[in-house]
């Protein structure tokens, strides 16, 4: 069995677009007619350019290869161009293709992917969700309203979720990390207080920041929200300075989480060695794929750290997250995004039920992608999947994260 054909589909989720502006889906077919699906989360170049990168990585390192040769193909991509270091764009392309290889292997052997990764360790996978606006909430006001966030949190807990994530401190700016103004520290405290009052001890609070702060600013903010007992403080400073993140981790009782912007074990290992985080959040469509993150999970286990796979993408990456999560002993939880388009794109085969996900026993990733639906929603914009603003933190008029991408 050899890899023979590649198809790339860029699909845009309908408004309001939770999960990003577009998703990059890849379909591989072998010379024996077995197909596999993957998803590339790399978002540092536009989708047209990324399509060419994906094609180049496939043709250069994978075409004609047995899909079993995942280690060999990874080393080819990782070493391409005399690099042997993490390259977000190349490894992002490889990640989606690697996920598709696992889907092929599972289908060829009539086994779910987790059965090929050491077997099923976990049944019900604890899921969490971002707090998104409810139907009656105005989109422009939701992101800075503790009261609306509390209403959304109460609804998510009613649906069975035992953890909710929110990011009230904004902004998502290229100028991070910055020192937060006192008013935004106060707003963060108000969010924590309102959500904790709404859910009590029925749900953990997951405080997101996306690398917005300076080290000192992150420590000030952490100390202000500590009384509300967040389960984690996510990426408190930009991810490129591990020693400074470790300084933040030592200064707060809140566990630090990071990883959605990291790529391969080469970037996760220093985080563990420095004690910069005890919760790792890899995005499998960016970080190197399923096998590479299985290695990271093993490293994390040795450091008594847990895994919480990240998801701000489409349902194919989610399917890969679920397969990895089912196979590792140090799973904390997995991120989920529940929209009709996510569900319809894979025929409703994966679901969050009462706050948990049951890994499928069907072959491969356990999904089949509705190609017609994906192609019926082409991406026609010019923005990146996620796009940071150039303006600095606004110290007078407020900052709104808006779920990572402004509503259409």
Task: Determine how β-strand 334-336 pairs with β-strand 35-40.
Answer: unpaired
Distances (CA, A) of 357 to 6, 232, 268, 387: 30, 21, 26, 30
Residue 185 burial by CB count (10 A; 0-12/13-18/19+): exposed, middle or buried? Answer: middle
**DSSP percent split of the chain into helix, strand, coil, nearest 5:** 40, 15, 45
d(CA 187, CA 400): 11
Mean pLDDT of the chain: 95
Instruction: Find the range with the poorest average confidence among 204-218, 268-282, 341-355, 385-399.
Output: 385-399
Q: Tell me the whole-structure pTM to 2 decimals.
A: 0.97
Structure confidence at residue 399 as a pLDDT band (50, 70, 90): confident
Query: What is the model's pLDDT at position 171?
Result: 84
- Listed in order, strand segments (DSSP E) in 201-253 are 204-208, 232-234
286-297 pLDDT per residue, tens: 999 999 999 999
CA distance 200 to 50: 44
How many Å apart are CA 29 and CA 6, to the nearest integer?
7
pLDDT at residue 402 in the model = 67
Residues pairing with 331 in the sheet: 307
CATH number corresponding to 116-364:
3.20.20.120
Residues of the chain with pLDDT > 70: what percent? Answer: 98
CA angle 70, 319, 105 (to 5 degrees): 35
Q: Where are the domains of the chain?
A: 116-364
Higher-confidence position of 198 and 140 = 198
DSSP state of 111: S
Instruction: Find the Cα–Cα–Cα–Cα dihedral 108, 112, 118, 119, rounded to 10°.
Output: -140
> Distances in Å between the alpha carbon of 360 and those of 106, 261, 348, 350, 370?
12, 28, 12, 8, 18
Question: Distances in Å between the alpha carbon of 330 and those of 30, 294, 319?
Answer: 34, 11, 18
* Type and span of the H or E element at 53: helix 47-61
Quote the pLDDT of residue 389.
84
The residue with tokens 């990011």 is 167
Instruction: Express each pLDDT in 134-176 by its tens digit.
Output: 999 998 889 899 999 999 999 999 999 999 999 998 788 888 7
**Average pLDDT of span 35-52:** 94
133-142 tens-digit pLDDT = 999 999 888 9
Residue 33 makes CB contacts below 8 A (sequence gap 6+) with none
What's the pLDDT tens digit per position in 301-331? 999 999 999 999 999 999 999 999 999 999 9
pLDDT at 350 over 80: yes
- Residue carrying the six token digits 């049951």: 358
> In this model, does residue 404 exceed pLDDT 60?
no
pLDDT confidence bin for 407, thresholds 50/70/90: low
Q: Which residue carries 């420590």 as its tokens?
A: 219
Rounded to an integer, the average pLDDT of 360-376 is 97
User: Is the pLDDT score of 67 beyond 60?
Assistant: yes
pLDDT in tens, 88-135: 999 999 999 999 999 999 999 999 999 999 999 999 999 999 999 999
Specify whether the CB–CB gap between 248 and 236 falls below 8 A. yes
Give residue 1's pLDDT. 97
Is 393 or 54 the better-scoring residue by pLDDT? 54
Q: Which residue has the tokens 């899909």?
A: 67
The model's pLDDT over 214-270, given as tens digits with 9 standing for 90+, comes to 999 999 999 999 999 999 999 999 999 999 999 999 999 999 999 999 999 999 999
Q: What pLDDT is attached to residue 405?
A: 54
Which residue has better confidence, 138 or 78?
78
Residue 58 has pLDDT above 60, yes or no: yes
Angle, CA 37 vertex, CA 33 and CA 42 arms, to 5°: 140
Q: How far apart are CA 324 and CA 309, in angstroms?
A: 9
Q: How far is CA 219 from the centre of its chain?
A: 24
Q: What is the mean pLDDT of residues 351-374?
A: 97
């Amino acid at each position: 069995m050899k890899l023979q054909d590649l198809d790339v589909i860029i699909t845009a989720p309908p408004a309001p677009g939770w999960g990003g502006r577009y998703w990059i889906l890849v379909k591989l077919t072998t010379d024996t007619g077995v197909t596999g699906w993957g998803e590339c989360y790399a978002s540092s170049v536009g989708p047209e350019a990324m399509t060419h990168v994906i094609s180049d990585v496939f043709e250069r390192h994978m075409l004609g290869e047995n899909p079993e040769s995942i280690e060999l193909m990874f080393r080819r991509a990782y070493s391409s161009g005399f690099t042997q270091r993490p390259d977000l764009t190349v490894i992002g392309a490889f990640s989606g293709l690697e996920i598709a290889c696992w889907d092929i292997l599972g289908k060829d052997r009539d086994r779910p992917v987790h059965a090929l990764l050491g077997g099923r360790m976990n049944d019900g996978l604890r899921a969490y969700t971002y707090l998104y606006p409810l139907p009656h909430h105005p989109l422009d006001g939701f992101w800075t309203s503790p009261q609306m966030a509390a209403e959304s949190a109460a609804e998510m807990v009613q649906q069975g979720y035992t953890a909710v994530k929110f990011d009230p401190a904004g902004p998502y700016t290229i100028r991070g990390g910055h020192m937060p103004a006192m008013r935004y520290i106060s707003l963060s405290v108000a969010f924590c207080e309102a959500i904790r009052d709404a859910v009590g001890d029925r749900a953990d609070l997951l405080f997101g920041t996306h690398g917005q702060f300076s080290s000192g600013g992150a420590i000030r903010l952490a100390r202000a929200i500590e009384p509300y007992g967040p389960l984690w403080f996510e990426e408190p400073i930009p991810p490129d300075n591990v020693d400074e993140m470790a300084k933040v981790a030592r200064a707060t009782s809140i566990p630090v989480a990071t990883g959605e912007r990291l790529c391969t074990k080469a970037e996760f290992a220093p985080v563990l060695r420095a004690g910069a985080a005890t919760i790792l959040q890899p995005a499998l469509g960016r970080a190197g794929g399923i096998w590479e993150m299985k290695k990271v999970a093993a490293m994390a286990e040795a450091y008594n750290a847990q895994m919480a796979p990240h998801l701000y993408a489409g349902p194919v990456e989610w399917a890969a997250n679920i397969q990895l999560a089912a196979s590792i002993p140090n799973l904390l939880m997995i991120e989920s995004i529940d929209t009709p388009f996510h569900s319809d794109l894979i025929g409703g085969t994966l679901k969050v039920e009462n706050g948990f996900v049951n890994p499928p026993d069907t072959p491969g990733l356990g999904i089949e992608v509705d190609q017609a639906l994906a192609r019926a929603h082409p991406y026609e914009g010019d923005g990146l999947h996620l796009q940071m603003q150039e303006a600095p933190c606004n110290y007078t008029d407020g900052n709104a994260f808006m779920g990572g991408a402004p509503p259409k």
